[in-house]
A and B are shown apart, each in its own frame.
Chain A
């Protein structure tokens, strides 16, 4: 294993492949965490691993796997946890009148000579035999069943109403969570813009450019790592390139990438609250043009800078 200031690419390749022993892995990990040079090389090697992966022969998994994943996704809706609903009584309520021992409409077909006792002792036989019954009794039975049916319908309606209420509750809860997340982002943004300790830096072009001159305004709050960049009059880029903002720490550390962006048709670009470490005092800011989605170290020249 190399003990030089930087690990060589053979060691980093093994690290990327996760083939080092755990203590070696940890040592490289510790080094790379604080070394922009090795991070950059590691990024290239990770890209190489992805390249290798895309070279395998391609297969599709069975369609049922997609169904399983999407079923799980549906089960884990992004909402606040709501207590699990009791098993739906819907079908029980509707099925109960159809159970065999219930006196269904068969009594219409039954003759009067059968007895209740007989029917109880031989239910299956009783089902085939007529029951005694006056017109008043028939009406009573009909009435009873009508009431039972009404209760079943009402029960079903109440259950469905409860389901609707719970669905609405879930929706409202999810909206509330989203609202809280957005409010948190807005609060951080507002804090950054209004903080008395926030640095405000004007970035101007470092080379001759056509009018209007490109410029950028950075507001940076070091204590909570919040940053906003608003840039304008930026030149259009080739499709595979992006502008990338860099925070240059005052303690001499390597520049920290602070967000890649592409300008819109009018040349306006912005970076809002990029992921940044907290409590890093900035000496300056710079914007470079980078390949792809941005890099880990700036590529010269710096097109806009300010301190």
Chain B
């Protein structure tokens, strides 16, 4: 069951503590801090999962795994350099692609920073980033948008996309890279 949200503000008092503080509290077993972290990021995690999987039950299942994993090992995230909000969004996307392609998670590199110019623990900045990204995606050329979506949301390799679009693999790679750079410029305003 999914409830579409039209930029509705949270009814409750916004959580003021930063991510690192919440993670430290979670490490000490503070369930309220876990609930606060969940409330802060559940929407983006779920939305990314749903966009990739198109199936609410599967998205909910992976969502639960992601947040329960945070509860079990918050110390792993204390070393996440950069933004936890960015990290969670990428983890959600990668987990969904793994599930979609029924493959084991690929080995990732530890201690890679998530360079984000936004404080994603802040609700307003999350909205600002979302608005700018959507506007930039709308500005991409239709073919570029399509190829990037095939890579990002469908998890198709550049070779698979090349076969499906009758482009060369090299063109597809460049198209994906250019789309990411365009979104980077948009994110930086």
- Report whether A52 and B106 are in contact in the complex, using a CB–CB cutoff of 8 Å: no
Identify B173's interface contact among A10, A48, A240, CB under 8 A: A10
- Report whether A61 and B60 are in contact in the complex, using a CB–CB cutoff of 8 Å: yes
Q: How far is the CA of A178 from the CA of B129 in the complex (A)?
A: 38
Q: How far is the CA of A174 from the CA of B114 in the complex (A)?
A: 33
Q: How far is the CA of A270 from the CA of B46 in the complex (A)?
A: 37
Identify B59's interface contact among A10, A19, A48, A61, CB under 8 A: A61
Identify B47's interface contact among A45, A59, A295, CB under 8 A: A59
A84 to chain B, nearest CB (A): 18
Identify A14's interface contact among B3, B114, B133, B176, CB under 8 A: B176
Chain A CB within 8 A of B164 CB = no
Chain A CB within 8 A of B2 CB = yes
* A76/B31 contact (C-beta < 8 A), A47-B115, A51-B133 known: no
- Report whether B177 and A59 are in contact in the complex, using a CB–CB cutoff of 8 Å: no
- Report whether B133 and A19 are in contact in the complex, using a CB–CB cutoff of 8 Å: no
Chain B CB within 8 A of A121 CB = no
Chain A binding surface, main DSSP class: helix
Number of interface residues of B (CB under 8 A): 79
- Report whether A61 and B115 are in contact in the complex, using a CB–CB cutoff of 8 Å: no
- Report whether B43 and A178 are in contact in the complex, using a CB–CB cutoff of 8 Å: no
Q: How far is the CA of A60 from the CA of B2 in the complex (A)?
A: 6
Number of interface residues of A (CB under 8 A): 62
Chain B CB within 8 A of A109 CB = no
Q: How far is the CA of A64 from the CA of B57 in the complex (A)?
A: 12
Smallest CB-CB A-B distances: 6 pairs: A55-B133, A78-B29, A50-B86, A53-B89, A47-B115, A43-B113
What are 14 contact pairs spanning A and B, CB under 8 A? A11-B173, A13-B173, A21-B157, A43-B112, A43-B113, A44-B184, A46-B90, A49-B180, A50-B89, A51-B116, A54-B44, A59-B46, A72-B68, A292-B117
Q: Which residues of B contact A (CB under 8 A)?
A: 1-5, 7, 27-29, 31, 34-35, 38-39, 42-44, 46-48, 50-51, 56, 59-60, 63-64, 67-68, 71-72, 79, 81-83, 85-87, 89-90, 92-94, 97, 106-107, 109, 111-117, 120, 126, 129-130, 133-134, 136-137, 148, 151-152, 155-158, 173-174, 176-177, 180-181, 183-184, 186-187
